[in-house]
Amino acid sequence: MELGQRVSTCVLLLLCVTLSTNGGNILVWYTEGSHWINMKPVLDKLIDRGHRVTVLVPSVSMYMNRNEASRFHYESFNVSFSMEAMEKYFEEFLHFSMYEMDQMNYLQIYIRFTEMMKTELHFSFKYLDGVVKSDTTMKKLKEGKYDLLLADPLYFGSDLTAEILNVPLVFSLRFSFAHNWERHCGQLPAPPSFVPAAMSKLTDQMDFSERLWNFLFYALHDVVLDNIYWKVLDKYYSEIKGTPTSACETMSRADIWLMRTYWDFDFPRPFLPNFKFVGGIHCRPAKPLPEDMEEFVQSSGDDGIVVFTLGSLINNITTEKANVIASALAQIPQKVLWRYGGEKPEALGANTRIYDWIPQNDLLGHPKTRVFITHGGTNGIYEAIYHGVPMVGIPMFADQPENMVHMKSKGAAVIVDLKSMKAEDLRHAVNTVINTKT
Ligand SMILES: *[C@@H]1O[C@H](CO)[C@@H](O)[C@H](O)[C@H]1NC(C)=O
Ligand SMILES: *[C@@H]1O[C@H](CO)[C@@H](O)[C@H](O)[C@H]1NC(C)=O
């Protein structure tokens, strides 16, 4: 054969090999709440690209549903607690974060938080028992011949399972709450001089006392976690593996950490090559609205609309608060679409409509949308960034206050405090966002 012919034969052969390559066989770790909502579009994309996706689903879950029509495969496992127990814990946690916390001093918060964390650990262990301590489940997972485990580390043990199955591990996380896995185990550098600690509500611009506070925050996290988290995890991991094992070290073997933030949301910080910042990965162009909703939106004229939701976990607030909010919104010229599960507030204005559910992304992508009133969950914030909609934040708990601090410091949001808020404050905040050209 001539050289040219040989080359083209090689290319042809190579093409055949490439064309016949099958997608990967991906196992997805169980998760809950907004973590699962965030994961789903990523899994859809993986399927679009020819991968096979199997999701591990516990027999008790508030958000994951095996019967849901989707293109995922499911592998279910049994857990030994009831849905009621899980819901009770969620409610307690919400109540603590929303109402109890601001009537407590630091010591009381610390003690209560430690208790809650122990309960969360209890659930996490029960979940993990259902996987690694169940011969049936482990047998199925081994027979599944997975190429990769993709996990949101919200519930721990995915690293242990990946090690037992001998498959590569990819983490996908927003940030690890107080756990600081990425810093502690993933060795992601976090100089306290300019990288604010999780939950500190600081920005990258800190004066001396704030830096000192930030430094103490990191130290406090480490002490708390060593005492109530890593100790018990190490014990569990060691028991399963039959040899002394460090959970943090097991976690550190993750091949890639997909961090669900980006520089539009986060502050500059040092990072490592196996940390990829993928914030906004779930964002998509808007689809048309349902007909009656579109009609309402169009009726707003040049004033446009306000989209308002406090997230998937909060369905009702106190009647008093609902009325404060309703009366504030009644005074603005925009039309308001409010996702709210509680009773209809008396002060509700003619310009405001209440919905059980709204197509949030489609509304944020609508050209008439002027402002997004949000609790400050990362999913919603990213949709707003993606569609270029400024925000009014009413953060409540977990990472929400901190998320809104980020958006405020980037000039994309105004924050109001739910507890002390008067109708005038909310109205003023909405008007500021709409009328300030920055
Ligand atoms: C879960 O429990 C049910 C009923 O006890 C049983 O039939 C099933 O095999 C169990 N599944 C696994 C994965 O162990
Ligand atoms: C929310 O609704 C539930 C019942 O649906 C009720 O028990 C609870 O008290 C309500 N919470 C508030 C803050 O109104």
Which ligand is nearest to the Cα of residue 137, counting in written order?
1
Spatial distance between the Cα atoms of 35 and 13, rounded to a whole number of angstroms: 43
User: 313 versus 310: which is more confidently predicted?
Assistant: 310
SS3 track for the chain: CCHHHHHHHHHHHHHHHHHHCCCCEEEECCCCHHHHHHHHHHHHHHHHCCCEEEEEEECCCCCCCCCCCCCCEEEEECCCCCHHHHHHHHHHHHHHHHHHHHHCCHHHHHHHHHHHHHHHHHHHHHHHHHHHCCHHHHHHHHHCCCCEEEECCCCCCHHHHHHHHCCCEEEEECCCCCCCHHHHCCCCCCCCCCCCCCCCCCCCCCCHHHHHHHHHHHHHHHHHHHHHHHHHHHHHHHHHHCCCCCHHHHHHCCCEEEECCCCCCCCCCCCCCCEEECCCCCCCCCCCCCHHHHHHHHCCHHHCEEEEECCCCCCCCCHHHHHHHHHHHHCCCCEEEEECCCCCCCCCCCCEEEECCCCHHHHHCCCCEEEEEECCCHHHHHHHHHHCCCEEECCCCCCHHHHHHHHHHCCCEEECCCCCCCHHHHHHHHHHHHHCCC
Q: Which of 414, 381, 378 is nearest to 399 (CA)?
A: 378
Question: For strand 369-374 and strand 391-393, is the pairing parallel, antiparallel, or unpaired?
Answer: parallel
Sign of CA dihedral 232, 196, 174, 171: negative
Greatest distance between any 2 Cα atoms in the chain: 87
What mean pLDDT do residues 310-327 have? 83
Does position 1 have pLDDT exceeding 60, yes or no? no
What mean pLDDT do residues 120-130 have? 93
Spatial distance between the Cα atoms of 189 and 182, rounded to a whole number of angstroms: 9
Domain ranges of the chain: 21-277, 291-435
Third-level CATH fold of 291-435: Rossmann fold (3.40.50)
Residue from 136, 139, 141, 142 whose mutation best tests the ligand 1 pocket (most atoms within 8 A of CB): 136
What are 173-185's pLDDT values in tens digits? 876 655 578 888 9
User: 262 versus 38: which is more confidently predicted?
Assistant: 262
- Token pair of 422 as six digits: 């008067």
What mean pLDDT do residues 94-118 have? 79
Considering only 116-125, 137-146, 297-306, which range has the smallest mean pLDDT? 116-125
Domains 21-277 and 291-435 share a fold: yes
Q: How far is the CA of 136 from the centre of ligand 2 (A)?
A: 40
407, 375 contact by CB (below 8 A):
no
The fraction of the chain above a pLDDT of 70, given in percent, is 92
Closest ligand 1 atom to 134 CA: 14
| Binding site membership of 318 for ligand 2 (Cβ less than 6 Å) | yes
Question: What's the number of CA atoms in the CB half-sphere (13 Å) around residue 356?
Answer: 0
Beta bridge partners of 415: 393
| Binding site membership of 134 for ligand 1 (Cβ less than 6 Å) | yes
Q: How far is the CA of 310 from the centre of ligand 2 (A)?
A: 15
The fraction of the chain above a pLDDT of 90, given in percent, is 63
What mean pLDDT do residues 402-408 have? 94
pLDDT at 61: 85
User: 101 versus 226: which is more confidently predicted?
Assistant: 226
What are 203-253's pLDDT values in tens digits? 999 999 999 999 998 998 888 888 888 999 999 999 999 999 999 999 999
Spatial distance between the Cα atoms of 85 and 23, rounded to a whole number of angstroms: 39
Strand order from edge to edge, sheet including 52-58: 73-77, 52-58, 25-28, 148-151, 169-173, 256-259, 275-277
**Cα-only R_g, the chain:** 24
pLDDT at 9: 64
Spatial distance between the Cα atoms of 400 and 377, rounded to a whole number of angstroms: 6
Question: What's the number of CA atoms in the CB half-sphere (13 Å) around residue 53?
Answer: 23
Q: How far is the CA of 64 from the centre of ligand 2 (A)?
A: 24
User: 60 versus 106: which is more confidently predicted?
Assistant: 60
Q: How far is the CA of 235 from the centre of ligand 1 (A)?
A: 27
Q: How far is the CA of 371 from the centre of ligand 2 (A)?
A: 28
pLDDT at 239: 96
User: 70 versus 408: which is more confidently predicted?
Assistant: 408
Average pLDDT, rounded, for the chain: 89
| Binding site membership of 316 for ligand 2 (Cβ less than 6 Å) | yes
Does position 4 have pLDDT exceeding 70, yes or no? no
Which residue's alpha carbon is at the smallest distance from atom 3 of ligand 1? 78
What mean pLDDT do residues 61-79 have? 83
Question: What's the number of CA atoms in the CB half-sphere (13 Å) around residue 33?
Answer: 14
User: 405 versus 92: which is more confidently predicted?
Assistant: 405
Closest ligand 1 atom to 77 CA: 13
275, 188 contact by CB (below 8 A):
yes
Q: How far is the CA of 343 from the centre of ligand 2 (A)?
A: 10
Does position 16 have pLDDT exceeding 70, yes or no? no
pLDDT at 26: 97
Which residue's alpha carbon is at the smallest distance from atom 8 of ligand 1? 78
Residue from 54, 74, 75, 78 whose mutation best tests the ligand 1 pocket (most atoms within 8 A of CB): 78
Sign of CA dihedral 183, 397, 128, 239: positive
pLDDT at 33: 80
Q: How far is the CA of 129 from the centre of ligand 1 (A)?
A: 13
Does position 5 have pLDDT exceeding 70, yes or no? no
Q: How far is the CA of 417 from the centre of ligand 2 (A)?
A: 20
What mean pLDDT do residues 39-56 have? 92
Which ligand is nearest to the Cα of residue 131, counting in written order?
1
Cβ atoms < 10 Å from Cβ of 363: 26
Closest ligand 2 atom to 316 CA: 1
Closest ligand 2 atom to 315 CA: 1
Q: Which of 302, 298, 344 is nearest to 323 (CA)?
A: 344
Q: Which of 45, 51, 59 is nearest to 22 (CA)?
A: 51
Which residue's alpha carbon is at the smallest distance from atom 2 of ligand 1? 78
Residue from 88, 97, 99, 316 whose mutation best tests the ligand 2 pocket (most atoms within 8 A of CB): 316
pLDDT at 99: 73
Side chain identity at residue 32, one-letter code: E
386, 280 contact by CB (below 8 A):
yes
Third-level CATH fold of 21-277: Rossmann fold (3.40.50)
Which residue's alpha carbon is at the smallest distance from atom 7 of ligand 2? 316
| Binding site membership of 114 for ligand 2 (Cβ less than 6 Å) | no
pLDDT at 10: 59
210, 298 contact by CB (below 8 A):
no
